[in-house]
Structure 1
């Protein structure tokens, strides 16, 4: 099964980083967040990626074109003008990089990927969010209900610490917990090809009319995930993910080196 990843947005809320690189190339632990997302899917056996490019997409192309050269030892033979990468561990990936336009909206990017997705069930996520959602359980849930679309519903992380009082006494304190009320769209979709009929063109925002129509038609289901989920929309969230990674306890780090 193929995994589509939207990686073409401007990332304007993370301008400190995205002035020089696309948001999926912003690094966590010395690796692009896009790499973390792909390693996560790969740990479940999903190794074929179709990536929608836009803003500074050439940097993502260059990253994957040079991947083997920059992650393994190599020999440079100046006599024959050859660069020879050595054998070594590398992901078992197929990566298709598709230019979907600079200003194309999310729905338009998804529709432009249709020719590359083989007319079959596919997964979809954004190139700026991490989670420990069980992808096998997510897929099983999708196949069981038989609708066109499944999203992963998550509880958003609180921005500030939570306190519970008795009078003026703090009797419970939690530093930035997941909120206990309310669910939001956490991406990590499983979709059927029929969803393309809900997208008109490049100006369509996936999260608006297509998802609203799918809901009205009874074709949108939610897989509720109450564990770890974190997007990277701001510099604060980038630093948060970096801190989690450096702790050695990153919930999304389920692969072996």
Structure 2
């Protein structure tokens, strides 16, 4: 099964970082957030990626072409020009890098990926958000309901601290998940090829007419997830993710947890308890 990743937006709300690179190439730790997303999918044995490029897409191309050499030890014969790689990480990824236009909207980018998705069920996410979502549970949910589209919905962290007041006195102050507001689109979609018929042109915004019409047609289902989820829209978001990574307690770094031997069959050892499609919040 292929995984589509939208990585072509301008990233204007993260302008401090995106003047010289696309947002998916903004680093958390020593690797771009795109790498973190791909590692998450790879943990669940999804390893065929189709990346929709746009703004500064050449930087993502160069990163993928150079990935193995930059993450390996090298022996260079300067006379012959021969380069041998040894050691290092060489993930079993196949990555298709597709130019989907500089100003193409999200729906248009998705439709431009249609020839590469193999006319079968595929996954889709944005290149700027991480989670500890169990992707196999998500896929099982999608297959059970039999509709065209599954959208993961989440309650995002608040952007501001939440004070608890006793009169004029603050008795508690903390940053908590947004538990009192509604669900929002957290991306991490599972989709059928029929969704391409809902996208009219490059100008189509996926979050508007296509999703609205899929909902009207009864073809859009929500997978409610209450575990860790964080997008990287602003510099503040980036700093929060970096802080979690530096602490050694990054909730989305599930690929370093102990796995069951059955992982090769796509069934990881770790599971989150919960009810129906919910998972318990993983505390950080």
Fold in common (TM above 0.5): yes
**CA offset at residue 171 of structure 1?**
4.5
Separation in 2, partners of 1:167, 1:101: 55
Q: Structure 2: state its 5+ residue gaps.
A: 258-284
Q: Structure 1: state its 5+ residue gaps.
A: none
**CA offset at residue 81 of structure 1?**
1.3
Compute the TM-score of the two structures, normalised by the length of structure 2.
0.88
**CA offset at residue 161 of structure 1?**
1.5
SS of structure 1 residue aligned to 2:254: coil
Compute the TM-score of the two structures, normalised by the length of structure 1.
0.97
**CA offset at residue 172 of structure 1?**
4.2
**CA offset at residue 142 of structure 1?**
0.5
Question: What do the CA deviations read for 1:48-85 (whole angstroms, capped 9, x no partner)?
Answer: 10000000000000000001110000111112111221
CA contact (8 A) 2:121 2:192 kept: yes
The answer to whether the aligner puts 1:138 opposite 2:138 as a matched pair is yes
**CA offset at residue 157 of structure 1?**
0.9
SS of structure 1 residue aligned to 2:46: coil
Match of 1:176 in 2: 175
Which moves more between the two structures, 76-85 or 30-39?
Answer: 76-85
Separation in 2, partners of 1:164, 1:234: 26
Which moves more between the two structures, 161-170 or 181-190?
Answer: 161-170
Question: What do the CA deviations read for 1:100-120 (whole angstroms, capped 9, x no partner)?
Answer: 111110000000000000000
Question: What do the CA deviations read for 1:186-216 (whole angstroms, capped 9, x no partner)?
Answer: 0000000000000011110000000000000
CA contact (8 A) 2:68 2:89 kept: no
SS of structure 2 residue aligned to 1:97: strand
Match of 2:274 in 1: none
Map 1:186-197 to 2 at 5 A.
Answer: 186-197=186-197
CA contact (8 A) 2:130 2:230 kept: yes
Match of 2:21 in 1: 21
Separation in 1, partners of 2:224, 2:172: 26
Question: What do the CA deviations read for 1:85-132 (whole angstroms, capped 9, x no partner)?
Answer: 114432111111000111110000000000000000000000000111
The answer to whether the aligner puts 1:224 opposite 2:254 as a matched pair is no
SS of structure 2 residue aligned to 1:95: strand
Separation in 2, partners of 1:137, 1:171: 39
Change (3 A) 1:87 1:170: closer
Match of 2:156 in 1: 156
Map 1:69-88 to 2 at 5 A.
Answer: 69-88=69-88
CA contact (8 A) 2:68 2:88 kept: no
Map 1:1-257 to 2 at 5 A.
Answer: 1-173=1-173, 175-180=174-179, 181-256=181-256
Separation in 2, partners of 1:8, 1:197: 22
Separation in 1, partners of 2:31, 2:63: 11
Separation in 1, partners of 2:256, 2:158: 30
- Measured on the aligned residues, the alpha-carbon RMSD in Å equals 1.2
**CA offset at residue 169 of structure 1?**
4.4
**CA offset at residue 166 of structure 1?**
3.5
Separation in 2, partners of 1:200, 1:90: 39
SS of structure 2 residue aligned to 1:66: helix
Separation in 1, partners of 2:102, 2:253: 32
**CA offset at residue 167 of structure 1?**
3.0
CA contact (8 A) 2:5 2:52 kept: yes
